Amino acid sequence: MISKSTIQKINDEARVEDVVGEFVMLKKRGANLLGLCPFHNEKTPSFNVNPARNIYKCFGCGKAGGPIQFLIDYQQLSYPDALKYLAKKYNIEIEEDEQTDEDKQKEQEKHNLVESIHIANAAAQKFFTDYMLQNENGKIGLAYFKERGFLNHTIEKFQLGFAPEGYDVFTKHALKEGFQLEVLKKAGLTSPKENSTVDFFRNRVMFPIHNMTGKVVGFGGRIMIKDEKAPKYVNTPESEVYLKSKILYGGYFAKNEIRKKDECLLVEGYTDVISLHQAGMENSVSSSGTSLTVDQIRLIKRITPNITMLYDGDAAGIKAALRGTDLILEEGMNVRVVVLPDAEDPDSYVKKVGSEAFLQFIQRNRKDVILFKASLFAAEAKHDPIKKSELIRDIVESIAKIPDNIHRSVYVKECSQLFEIQEQILITEVNKLRRKKANDQKTAENREVVQPKDSKQDQLPDSFHQEQFNQASSNLHILEKDIIRILIEFGSWKTGEEEDAETVAAYVLNDLDGLEMETDRYRMMFDLVKREFLSGNVHEEKFYTANEDEKVTSIAIELLTQPYSLSDNWWQKYKIVLPDKKLMFVKDIQSACIRFKQFKNIAELKKIEAKLKEVTDETELIKLMKLHKLFIEQKKEFAKTVGNVIYRPTT
């Protein structure tokens, strides 16, 4: 395990402009550098590199990070591999954390096993390919692939092969080559049977499955004979290197083209992927013989936010097209659906019409998934009110999963018109679902709910006039966002010139003691700062912008960057002197904390006022009235501090 001190050295030495500059043409723009984003197609540069903070941020697609994160996203490296890449680049010696002899032995054994499985899989792939091309008995596999229309270069690219029909042909070959039987079993290539062993794959055409770095981690095998008792396809059992929920078939061959086209074509089967690649659509992948998973979606999301799903044109195909789309929406991605003509799949249809016509079909028929569901269901349930209400609820559930407020609002408006139902009713239902999820599961990225501009739901309680708050600070989400920004940017700064002055982190955490953030992403960051503080650590912003947790890094950079910067020339021209950030930050912190507490005070007062209207027990009534008086006094103090006008609370 790479030591923390080594990671710190790498973070200190690695320069984002050097690392990004290896892959992106950057031009000086003020204090920063600007270039075309490598993660999505664009004509106008929006990829901003900030050397001072050692971070990058694309204001087009939202990708952000530091040197390590860039390598993870662009080169598809793991976190440890990205560290090793940078250590080599900057001549940093990698130190391992001190471990017991037992720990070292276990780690070494695991490492050796993983390497052995990779080597065994590579040897198996070569054996299956060679057997198909060179052995007379393997020609049946080659004939199958040729019949499917696969050309020699395609067979070579995907390293296709054939597993012999014999009982243990491969196992005997592997043992003869020096492989240990235990490794072959762990790799899922050999299976125990009574007092002997057998090949896991027999008499099947073989589809090697690669991870994103190109290593063979498993296989899919298709049966060559009709046998109702045997499955048509079998996959390698899960192992130390193969977790099918985390693998995209074709991902290694598709990643560069996905990045270039800023779109991923998602299909169902191995042959669909191979046929589309052969036809020039090399941005195609499949979910590797499993239902689409969150991990697979996130693999795609690292490269592009855009997914187009291609599915068969029958009823089962349409159902398959809708399966998993809610997971994609929940990740904040854009998903469109293309349903092919009846009895066609991507493999058969591209061969039937050719690549150009196939692409044109996709362009003409791709539909946004929400609107696809809505139009499909609207026609299906037009004259059945009960069914219509059920289908509307299904669509509302999908809309509620979308993290972006604007996207949800657009979908609500479209569905309102399509189903001829009041927009406000849909908004209310979406809000209910999002609040329920936030309260019960606490997994939503953002608790902002879909609302039109004139909605009063997120405005201040009636007992306070709008002038009491600045427009920007009237939303709890914005207040929380500002506090987290302060903790990241100024957390390690001192609040005064005195030697024993407390840090900003200490001030904020003490001042807000007992209060919680309600927005999930900011609560997560607040808890992280608090955890580190209680452990005796107060960090500078680099800890957050170069964090091992990708989510922490993303949020930190989002809060610290903006698409526009002040022009030094403009301010000098008009002789305007900007206040130094160091002179303003204490006031900034105090104001943010006070407004946050004021907002919480308002919320509590509203709850107490509601209870006062309903309570009948005299003891409880007296208790609530005392509490109400206490919060009214707090409200007055807050108002004095921030200079607000006091209004009488409503009763």
In this prediction, residue 315 has a pLDDT band, given cuts at 50, 70 and 90, of low
The pLDDT assigned to 608 comes to: 79
- The answer to whether residue 520 is domain-embedded is yes
Query: Among the three residues 221, 242, 263, which one is the final residue of a domain in this structure?
Result: 242
Which domain CATH number covers 131? 3.90.980.10
- The answer to whether residue 416 is domain-embedded is no
- Given the DSSP bridges, would you call strands 334-339 and 284-286 parallel, antiparallel or unpaired? unpaired
**For 52-78, how does the pLDDT look when each residue is reduced to its tens digit (9 = 90+)?**
889 999 988 888 899 999 998 888 788
Shared domain check, 340 and 304: yes
Q: 51 exposed, middle or buried (CB, 10 Å; 0-12, 13-18, 19+)?
A: middle
Three-state DSSP at 247 gives coil
Whether the CB-CB separation of 529 and 38 falls below 8 Å is answered with no
Report the b/e string of 436-449 with b at 16+ CB within 10 A. Answer: ebbeeeeebebbbb
Shared domain check, 596 and 508: yes
- The answer to whether residue 434 is domain-embedded is no
Whether the CB-CB separation of 218 and 118 falls below 8 Å is answered with no
Shared domain check, 216 and 277: no
Overall average pLDDT of the 175-180 stretch: 93
Which domain CATH number covers 39? 3.90.580.10
Distance CA 55, CA 11 (A): 11
The pLDDT assigned to 469 comes to: 36
**For 404-450, how does the pLDDT look when each residue is reduced to its tens digit (9 = 90+)?**
888 888 888 888 887 788 888 888 888 888 888 776 644 433 333 33
C-beta atoms surrounding 2 within 10 Å: 16
Q: Indicate whether 452 pLDDT > 50.
A: no
**Percentage with pLDDT > 90 across the chain:** 31
Overall average pLDDT of the 542-547 stretch: 88
Shared domain check, 258 and 237: no
Domain holding 588, by residue range, is 468-642
Closest by CA position to 63, among listed 77, 46, 51, 82: 46
CA angle 312, 314, 317 (to 5 degrees): 45
- The answer to whether residue 498 is domain-embedded is yes
Distance CA 341, CA 168 (A): 43
Shared domain check, 264 and 135: no
Q: Which amino acid is at 124?
A: A
Closest by CA position to 197, among listed 205, 188, 206: 188
The pLDDT assigned to 86 comes to: 92
Q: Say which residue, 151 or 437, is predicted with more confidence.
A: 151
In this prediction, residue 458 has a pLDDT band, given cuts at 50, 70 and 90, of very low
Question: Which range (38-47, 170-179, 243-252, 481-490) has the least confidence?
Answer: 38-47
- The answer to whether residue 317 is domain-embedded is yes
The pLDDT assigned to 395 comes to: 86
Q: Indicate whether 499 pLDDT > 70.
A: yes
- Given the DSSP bridges, would you call strands 161-163 and 190-193 parallel, antiparallel or unpaired? unpaired
Shared domain check, 326 and 213: no
Shared domain check, 582 and 485: yes
**For 186-230, how does the pLDDT look when each residue is reduced to its tens digit (9 = 90+)?**
999 999 887 788 999 999 999 999 998 899 999 999 998 777 778
- The answer to whether residue 248 is domain-embedded is no
Shared domain check, 132 and 262: no
Whether the CB-CB separation of 47 and 60 falls below 8 Å is answered with yes
Q: Say which residue, 319 or 239, is predicted with more confidence.
A: 239
The pLDDT assigned to 463 comes to: 37
Distance CA 421, CA 286 (A): 37
Which domain CATH number covers 277? 3.40.1360.10
Cα radius of gyration rounded to whole Å, the chain: 30
> How many structural domains is the chain composed of?
4
Q: Say which residue, 25 or 454, is predicted with more confidence.
A: 25
| Ranges 444-458, 518-532, 617-631, most confident | 518-532
- The answer to whether residue 447 is domain-embedded is no
Q: Say which residue, 293 or 496, is predicted with more confidence.
A: 293
DSSP type of residue 136: G
The pLDDT assigned to 8 comes to: 86
Query: Among the three residues 339, 365, 391, which one is the final residue of a domain in this structure?
Result: 365
In this prediction, residue 364 has a pLDDT band, given cuts at 50, 70 and 90, of very high
Q: Say which residue, 592 or 281, is predicted with more confidence.
A: 281
Shared domain check, 73 and 109: no
Distance CA 373, CA 375 (A): 6
The pLDDT assigned to 257 comes to: 93
For 191, phi and psi rounded to 5 degrees?
-120, 140
Q: Which amino acid is at 38?
A: P
The pLDDT assigned to 649 comes to: 37
- The answer to whether residue 271 is domain-embedded is yes
Q: Long-range contacts for 565-572 (Cβ within 8 Å, ≥24 apart)?
A: 565/30, 565/31, 565/32, 567/30, 568/30
**Alpha carbons within 13 A on the beta-carbon side of 247:** 27
Element (H, E) at 27: strand 27-29
Shared domain check, 111 and 55: no
Please list, in sequence order, all residues whose beta carbon lies within 8 angstroms of the beta carbon of residue 514, skipping any fewer than 6 positions away: none
Shared domain check, 177 and 49: no
Whether the CB-CB separation of 516 and 599 falls below 8 Å is answered with no
In this prediction, residue 148 has a pLDDT band, given cuts at 50, 70 and 90, of very high
Overall average pLDDT of the 357-373 stretch: 90
The pLDDT assigned to 193 comes to: 82
Q: Indicate whether 378 pLDDT > 80.
A: no
| Ranges 169-178, 414-423, 631-640, most confident | 169-178
Q: Say which residue, 93 or 620, is predicted with more confidence.
A: 93
**For 604-618, how does the pLDDT look when each residue is reduced to its tens digit (9 = 90+)?**
778 777 877 777 777
Hey, what are 599's tokens? 């907002």
The pLDDT assigned to 321 comes to: 64
Q: 52 exposed, middle or buried (CB, 10 Å; 0-12, 13-18, 19+)?
A: exposed
Task: Tell me the average pLDDT of the chain.
Answer: 82
The pLDDT assigned to 569 comes to: 52
Shared domain check, 117 and 36: no
Query: Among the three residues 321, 349, 365, which one is the final residue of a domain in this structure?
Result: 365
